Amino acid sequence: MKEATQNSKPARVGLIAIIATIGLLISLVSVAQPRQRRAGGGGPDGAGQHERGPKAMIGQMQQLLDLTENQVAAIESVFENQREIGRENRAAHRANAEALKAALEQDSPDATAVGELLLAGKELRAASAADREELQGQVNAVLTDEQQATWEGFQKGRRGARGDDGKRGTRRQRGPRGGGQGANG
């Protein structure tokens, strides 16, 4: 009887490790899902929404940096050239996330396949970051030194509002859900 208990103990530990790993991976997949727009975040008239995308960025740059017509045309060309790269990156990220989700939803997920998909996702994020750096380098090549310094300061100010790493902060930093005062409030 004692021998049977000892043989089942490693099996239980292994099963617990597998379940914990699957739980972690499922949480990673849920993070990779596209964000849902918050209710009341802006209506059809655009109230409450910030403009995004190349046109909005070029508009900001024009206001802030007093760009010449040639600079605007050059920056528009840079964004146009990067558009297809961005589409390809998003498609690759989407395909990887869907494959990871499918692998995790199997009755018995293959840990090797899941690990490979996670590593592929990490590589995709690194490639996207490199593409963004290249885009910024191409835009900087169009700007004067003074304009570059002004634009960099503007971007740092925007990132500073979100935190040094560009993220919005942890739940503890943001406060309780719903904007309430919490249990002690």
156: buried, middle or exposed (CB in 10 Å: 19+, 13-18, 0-12)? exposed
114 and 18 Cβ atoms separated by less than 8 Å: no
Give the pLDDT confidence score for residue 47 in this predicted structure.
45
Q: At what angle do helices 69-105 and 54-65 cross, to 10 degrees?
A: 140
Both tokens of 89, joined, read 């990156």
Cβ-based neighbours of 118, under 8 Å, separated by 6 or more: 25, 28, 100
Give the pLDDT confidence score for residue 155 in this predicted structure.
83
Give the pLDDT confidence score for residue 18 in this predicted structure.
81
H/E segment holding residue 10: helix 2-32
Could you say which architecture CATH assigns to the domain 53-161? Up-down Bundle (1.20)
Averages of pLDDT over runs of 10 residues in the chain (185 residues) are 58 76 71 51 46 82 89 92 90 94 91 92 93 91 91 81 54 52 47
How many whole angstroms separate alpha carbon 103 and alpha carbon 109? 6
Give the pLDDT confidence score for residue 173 in this predicted structure.
55
3-state secondary structure of 111: helix
Kindly write down the DSSP assignment for every residue of 21-80, as one continuous string. Answer: HHHHHHHHHHHHSPPPPPTTS--TT-TT----SHHHHHHHHHHHH---HHHHHHHHHHHH
Both tokens of 46, joined, read 């655009």
Find where tokens 């995004």 sit: 52
Give the pLDDT confidence score for residue 165 in this predicted structure.
54
Give the pLDDT confidence score for residue 60 in this predicted structure.
87
How many whole angstroms separate alpha carbon 103 and alpha carbon 99? 6
Print burial letters for 28-62: b (CB count within 10 Å at least 16), e (below 16). Answer: ebeeeeeeeeeeeeeeeeeeeeeeeebeeebeebe
